[in-house]
Structure 1
Amino acid sequence: MKPTGWILAGALASVCGVAYGDGYGVKSGNPVIPGVPYEVHDGTRPQPPIITTGGAVSVKAPSDATVLFDGTSLDAWTNAGGPAKWVIKDGSLVASPPGDLSTKESFGAVQLHFEWRLPAGRKVDGQGGGNSGVFLMGLYEIQVLQSNGNKTYPDGQATALYGQLPPLVNATGPQGEWQSYDIAFEPPVYDGEKVVKPAKVTVLHNGVFTQHGELYLGPTQHKKLAAYPPKHPLTGPIKLQWHGDPMEYRNMWSRPLGERDKGPAEPQK
């Protein structure tokens, strides 16, 4: 779209009360994603349907969970190997300088619950103003974005496999309200340097499936195609992204996803 197009889009946004952010409605010029006719961060990709949910689903940590944030302590976290510097305010963990926050513990297959919100009144425009992310194994991002009333490229919306796959629906509630994520993640399986089973994820956003057994193309990239490296760790930290916006987190816990005893492959006679 030419510059005049961007001006028109901004005018429409102000009239309609909807933010039309970076990349909305235009091609990105990035590589085409395998299996679909869309580029990475393609603004012409169909927008997920917008739905209204019952709001955040707050779940207390079960007995076998690792509590990552209980509203009082950053003991589970680190900033670049040093002390965690994010701010705790009124029981919430606020994204803050100097950078991303990572767990001290590493995880493989994991169930993760947390709640987040963007404080009311902050201007949001596309990827700016209300952006963060959660990285499984420090590599695979599930986007955290204030997507209610805020349009951007679909593979960058809330619960998108960032740069790869949009959510099934846009289930984000109004700004200032708490949102919930429930994630089940399985890391990739390798045979030597060959991927035999890609990383897999399911996400519920405010109690609604927005990703269901989806496969990652590889570790998350920005403006590039994701691809699996020949060597890959077995476990990694959970990372919260600092994107310059004061996103708030609470009630964060994880638990391992063990393998079930599946029994014989075929029924016994």
Structure 2
Amino acid sequence: MVKKYQETANFVSGVLDVTELQNISPFMSKPQKFSIQRALVLSDADYQFFVNDDFRRPPVVIRAKQRYMGFDVKKKEWNCLLVVSEISKDGILVGKEPDAERYYMAYVPDHTNLNLPADLPVEFWTNVCTTTLQLQPSAEAHPPLTEQGNRQQHFASFVGMQLSTVCFDLRFMSYDPEKDEMVTRLYGGPHDYIESRGTPEKIAKENHFSGKLRGIFFNMDYRNISHPCLPEEVPQPKRKTPRKTREEGR
């Protein structure tokens, strides 16, 4: 049986996120042909941020690929990017008007149903955090005796850290153990940020933590585990004296 591929998609501009894109009425945008020029594979955390943030201003890693986007008038089809997660089947097709900062998005329920060319360039952006959430061991003189105390120490250890990926910079500003309240800032530019305040659970939900990132954030023993990425003191090899030098010293 010959597999039937998805050959058209509904490209829409001005939508905020993937939920709004999925709920667009088919009468608002007729299906159009497309030609995928390049594929970007994001980590699950970056992909969730991308599809839930603001489609009107995509992350820098996507805006940098504008040369692969545009509408081909002769062929009457979109040249576009395919953006997918490393673990999910859905994806987003991204097109753009050549002379305006207007992006067109189309939702793909299952990217395995796309007829992708064998020589399609694929970029993997799945492990590019410049500052990962690899926490240093707790410096507390006395380990916590209660589950609540362990939780407080765990989330307090995030303060001062920054998580930087291809899609976002998230800074952990403060944590009040008595209120169980954390403050973070999500930066889109040097002076452009969104501040979130609430319990760690609320912070994780608002910033779309998922996969490995969510696992680390809620692992209360993570800071006390030895991680291979933490710097370790490597013993220096002993210097050997050349035989000729030893003989000259006799």
Q: Same fold (TM over 0.5)?
A: no
Q: What range is the shorter-chain TM-score in?
A: under 0.3
**TM-score, with normalisation over the residues of structure 2?**
0.27
**TM-score, with normalisation over the residues of structure 1?**
0.26
Which one has a bigger Cα radius of gyration? 2
Structure with the greater relative contact order (CA < 8 A, sep ≥ 6): 1 or 2? 1
